[in-house]
Every structure is written in C-alpha cells, then in structure tokens.
Structure 1
C-alpha cells in the first residue's frame, strides 16, 4: 500500500475527488483483478466537466467505470459534474473554505495551477506515480501542466484536447482554395470567399463558456504578449485590444461568421459546420470527430493547425510566439482532505490504462494521455495528424494560481461585449474600459497569488 504524501495548508475541496482517484491507483497496483483497497471504504466522489456534446455517452461511461471500479476495489464511485469554468472556480473556492467536497477532481489544464497554488493537493513523488502506473505511462507533452516542475506535480494527465481548425474539403475545392490558410489574414480572405448562397465561411461559438479567451490568448501571444510576464499582467496592452477587435471583427467587419454565432456555444458552432452551413470550424479538436463522422460532412472534412501569423501581419512579429493551441485537456488531482486517497489513486490508475483510454477516445474523441494508447490511436487514424501537429507545438498558459481568474476576466470581456456584437458593431472605447477593469481584476489576482 503506497503512503500517499499529503501537503499541509489550505484545503481545496474541488480537488479532493482527484486525491481519491490517486489513492485508489496506489492500492490497485495496475491490476485488473478484483481486490478491495485496503484502508479505504468509499464512496469515492469524483467531479468532472459535464459533456454537453455527448451526454448520454458520458452517463454510460459513468456507469461502466463505476461497475469496473466496484469490481476491482469493492467501493462505490459517485460522479458529479460542473458546467463551466466559473462553476469550476466556485467549487474549488468553496471546498478550500469548507475543507470538504469531491475526493477527486478532473480539472482543465489551465486550472491545475490553481490547485497547486492552494497547497491543498497531493504532490506526486515516485511512490504516487508508481501507484498510478508510472510517470512514463504518460506522453511527455501532456505532463507540461502537471506542476511548475517535476518536484511539485499535482495533476495526472487524463485527457488531451489540442485545438485546431476543421474545414470542408469539398467547399474549399469548389471555391478553388488549395489547402488551409497559413495566416489569419488569409483565413479572412478564405472565409469571405466561402460566404455564399446562405452559407458562411466559418463557425465560432462567441457564447461558449471556454473558447473565447483562447482566441485572445492566441492572438496576443502571436503578437508577442504572453498576458502574464513575471509579476505583471498585460491585459490592457494594445495587442489585447487588437486581439479582441480582430476576434469580434470576423463577424462585424469581415462578415464571414453568422450573426447567430453571438449566441452559439462550441457545440452549436460545430452543428453549423457539420450541417455544411459553415465552411470552417475554428477552435475545435478531436472531440468533434464522432459528430462529424455521423454528419453531412462525413468524408468531406479535414483538420489543420490554426494559423500562427496574427491578424494584420504577413509573418510572425519579432518576439511573437507561434501559439495556435494551449496545452489543453484535463488533469486529475487529489484533495488532501479526502479520507479515501488510496481509492483515488486506484481510480486514476483505472481510467488511464491503455485499453480504457482507447475506448474513451473512440467514444468521445479526446486524445489519450497514456503513451501506448496514444500510439495505438494515432497510428490508425490519418485525420488526427494535423491535430497532433498542433498539439506538439502547444504553448502552456502561465503556471500561476491567478491564471483561472485571468481567463475568467478575459471571458467576461466577451460576455459584456456580446450585446454590441449582436448589434453588429463594437464600441472600441467601451472595449478599452472593459480591458482596464479586466487588467485590474487580473493584477489583483496575480498579486494575491504571488503573496501566498
């Protein structure tokens, strides 16, 4: 039985579920044979993001995983879900204060720094990693957001979700376009050329809970602004104002995005692309594949990395980062307050096994973090090549406990601007005011995180 190392200090309830998962793996030892986990009784509470795209499939996965877990450990696992980054943040904060909540948390990679900053998660050393199958079980790229360095890792890679673009190869050929665009200006030209006969050039989910800030982050990095530079936030920099104006301008100025996109989530934008109503889908990834393969564009689409040259430029500016996707996906973290840490480790070991990860990918599209599963999946699918290319060049978001509040501030700017967007024009003065407010909120969060 592995001795789980527990850090002292503030307790993060939202991450407790993750701790429970890690503990389970320790007792399971990688074996698929039934054996109750010594010292842990459960039930194990696990928090995960609700799937709006595949809700029935997610429920079936909950039931199947719980059944396997019960057979192997003798304990029950109970899944609960959250719907947005704001929900995720609230649960974490509430659990830190109360000292109770899920045992195991499946966290977005950008929220892992929040978990680490609390000091309230199990830190993974040699014993913990061995309990979940070994650190070398996972692909190296997915470990980039496990912690600030190898000595302080709190997140175990669960799913990989690089972002890319999808395009309708049939519509591209009909328009005389050879291959995907290489710069954002070229993408605008493509989008306008493809906006004909009631069809739009691209689909975007302006009302999505997660996507909007990623466009702003991407453009800002390409212009040379990482948004957090040491102890300074640079959200009110002119490059960020330009990033928002370009992002909104796809609809208001360039006219190749449907006005309905103001109210679209990512899944609604994907539905437009899948129905052939939009020729490109921006900020998408492997989770779209099951939907597309069962749609009107099956066999008529391809993926490509999004352009690495920012709007208004013909080449990457000096100091610019060719960022087209964050290191994206989900990590599993284990809460210190959990009484079932061994069960938590066993759960993590279970859901990161090769066969489990392959089955998950085939159902939901998320790429495996298990190295053997990743090799098995990628060697049998040509369509994944461009997504893997994008993932190989993924740029991590700043590893600071303040980042979740920074990304929420960036998202809030979009939320506040949506009424203007729906009216067809963005008030640049109002946008500048919103960025000043976002800068203040983000800098306060960074100062607070730095002082801890």
Structure 2
C-alpha cells in the first residue's frame, strides 16, 4: 500500500466481502479476443504509489510500453487512488466489470481471496513467473490465508521504521533516536511543547491505526483473531495495545491533540516543517521528498520495541507492508496476464519500480542491487527479514481494519477533547467493534 491508505466504510466492505461470489472479475474494457487474433490488450489497475496519480503514470507508462514492445500486448493503465481502490475491487468481484490485472494492498489478500474472484497462484502459475522461491518469505506471508494457494504475488514491499527530524533532535540536545517505547516517551517529553509535537499520528487514518495497534498487540503477546479466525478484540493484550497507542496523546502528551483529526499523509507536513520530531512511516524517500525534505534532514532507526532489540514474538516492530499483484480469475487473456505479472516481478523491473517508489523489492534477486542497501532501505530490508509480521490473513481483515480502526479514531477524539481514556473505555470500544464483525 502506499504508505497509509484510507479504508472503505465497514458496511460496504463487510457486505461485499461476505457476498463471497465466485463470479470473479473480468475484462469489460479491454481483454483480448479469445481467438488470439489482432492486438492483445490487458487492463491494469495500479495503486497510487507516488506523490500523485500523474507521477505514477510517468513511472509506469514507460515500463508498460517496454512490455508491449517485447510481447505485443498493450496494457491499458488506470491508477486508482487508495481511497477508491478497495471499493472498486469489491464492486468488480460482484459485477464482473473489472480489470485483468490489479494491485491490491497486501493486507486485503485473504479478504479478496474469500470472494473467489482472484486467480489462485498454485505451483503451476508460480512456475510461469519463475517460481515461488524468487520471493522473500515475509512478503509471501501476506498473499492469502494459510493453507490455501496465494491470491496474489508480491510487487512492492515496505515496513515501518522510526524517522526523526535531525534539526529538532539537535536543537533539543538529543544525540540518538529512541530504541524502546520508554525511551520514546522520555525523548518525546524533551522534544514537545511550544506548539510542537514529539511524534505524529494520524488518528483519522483507519489503516494506520490498525498497523500500529497490531504491532503493539504483538508486543503484548496478543492477536486480534484466533488461529481459527474468531475475533478476540477484548483480550487484555489487545486492550493494552490500543491504550498504549492512544496514551501517547492522552497520558504522555507527546502527540498534539490536532493529530486526532489527521488523515492520510497529514502528519508529514508537520514533520517536514519542524513541528513534529518523529513519525512511524514507510517509503520515506518518496513521501518526505514530496514534502520538500532532503535525505540529510531526517534520520532513521528501527521502530521501537518494549526492550532489547527487534525480532519475532513480542519484539515484532512492524507489520509486513506492501502491494501485491493479482489477476482476476475470469480474465479473457490469462496467458497475457501471467506474462505481464512475470514482467513486473522480473529482477530488472523490480529494481526499476522499487527504486522509483523508494520501496523494497520482494524479489530476492533484485534486493542485491546496492541501491537497496542505503541506511534507510537497509532498516526496511532487515525489518522485513527479522522482525515484521503479516496482519491477520482472515476473510474479515478489511472489516477488521474498518471497525477497530474506527474505535482507535474515536479514542483519539476522546483524548483530544480531554475525556479520559481508560482500560474500561478502550475495552468497551473494542467490544463494540467486535460485535460488528462475524466470526468467519
């Protein structure tokens, strides 16, 4: 996903996901004729990865032209904003009016898999793009439900890290970024005040809320779903995770109250203008540059853990973030669609595209390029390899993001208004969220 994405409303997402239709998508606007005569065409919905839709077109169109030159297959490109993408995809699964190939947020893989609309990537399909072992294990872990053939293949990989404003740290006499949450709070108290915020959050960005509380739940030894897919939002660990995140504003006062209303990317403006000292973020080279920051102005460190160093279990410090590439099952040009996925996930294209977007290739061979060994990208690479975990790979995942993300948003609103945020109030919000989601 592009850094932090907006999520559809729960009612729409849940009703469409539960429809679980097997009719699939289609190529209503440009599949090839089945006899193979004439110029073959694919339609492709790309996610908005760059600073704008036009910026994405400038990155992607030359690559699509190169693909056409090599294969004779024309690709009709549409870059879809994150605010629209999931609704568009879900509508396509029920109407049949969709593209041949599309990008999906990797956290949606299991939800979209449950619709039956996407091509399952069995060994034969993976064989046509070079094999499953070309991909990093953590990226493959976010391609669908455990025990089923993946619903997509990894395209761009990302992870969270802690980014800090060097000027604000220097002005406060702070020499190094915090490594634990206790250190972050202590550092934050030295950085805040005077109209400035120590760390930025986006309280109205539902997906970002989920990303952060998911990691904190892991650090508390909790999961939001049982292995069987039953929601368990009110366990002590889940409640403690949500409270810890909201307490950055409610108790520790190191997040400005205005952040409760921030939506996608709004915290970056404050970071770039020396009003916020730290952010938990992805793909900095693209998003920070769009705010006018040079790489000399910010530093990077692994996202905080309770103690020690990042790793697995209670030392997980990021969700496995990224974009997957899927094929609608009822495409009229399956061979062409697989050829296009092979092209986009080739070592050559992976280097080109991930360099453009500041993300990490999920393809092992492409990661060897020195461009992905810079200090910032090395943190992301190491996080993905050592201390990231995929969000729940369950059919209810998109609804989970909506209802729990909304609960966190409402708790931030309470904190901003000076209303108490207690263990009991957090548990009540999560209980209400759990009642809005089915067990399977």
- Per the normalisation by structure 2, the TM-score is 0.83
Of 113, 123, 133, the match for 2:120: 123
**Structure 1: tracts of 5 or more residues without a match:** 1-7, 24-36, 448-452
Which of the numbers 79, 98, 107 marks the counterpart of 1:110? Answer: 107
Q: Within 5 Å, give how 1:402-413 maps onto structure 2.
A: 402-413=396-407
Residue matched to 1:11? 23
Tell whether 2:187 aligns with 1:193: no
Contact 2:108 2:397 (C-alpha < 8 Å) held by counterparts: yes
Classify 1:190/1:64 alpha carbon distance in 2 versus 1 (closer, same or farther; 3 Å): same
Distance 1:338 1:431 in 2: 45
Taking a change above 3 Å as real, the CA distance of residues 397 and 45 of structure 1, as seen in their structure-2 partners, is same
2:322 corresponds to 1:324: no
Task: Say whether residues 1:97 and 2:94 are aligned partners.
Answer: yes
What is the alpha-carbon distance in structure 1 between the residues aligned to residue 295 and residue 325 of structure 2?
A: 33
Post-superposition offset of 1:365 = 0.8
- Indicate yes or no: 2:433 matched with 1:435: no
| Cα distance change, pair 349–406 in 1 and its aligned pair in 2 (3 A) | same
Match of 1:289 among 266, 285, 289: 285
Q: Which consecutive unaligned segments of at least 5 residues does structure 2 have? A: 1-19
Tell me how far apart the structure 1 counterparts of residues 177 and 36 of structure 2 sit (CA, whole Å): 55
Deviation per CA, 1:219-272: give whole Å up to 9, x if none: 112111111113331112233333233222222332222233223234221222
User: Does the 8 A contact of 1:53 with 1:267 survive in 2?
Assistant: no
The two structures have a TM-score, normalised by structure 1, of 0.81
Tell me which of 388, 393, 397 is aligned to 1:394: 388
Alignment equivalent of 2:65, drawn from 64, 67, 81: 67
Distance in 2 between residues matched to 1:41 and 1:415, nearest whole Å: 49
Give secondary structure in 2 for the equivalent of 1:187: helix
Seen in structure 2, the aligned counterparts of structure 1 residues 421 and 151 have a Cα distance that, compared at 3 Å, is closer
Q: Report 1:156-235 matches (<5 A).
A: 156-231=153-228, 232-235=230-233
- Cα distance in 1 between the residues matched to 2:50 and 2:56: 9
Contact 2:286 2:358 in 1 (8 A): yes
1:327–1:320: structure 2 CA closer, same or farther, 3 Å change rule? closer
Residues 288-297 or 161-170, more deviating: 288-297
Whole-Å separation in 1 of the counterparts to 2:389 and 2:335: 33
Matches within 5 A, 1:128-167: 128-148=125-145, 152-167=149-164
| 1:129-159 deviation digits (Å, cap 9, x = unpaired) | 2322332332333222234458612211100
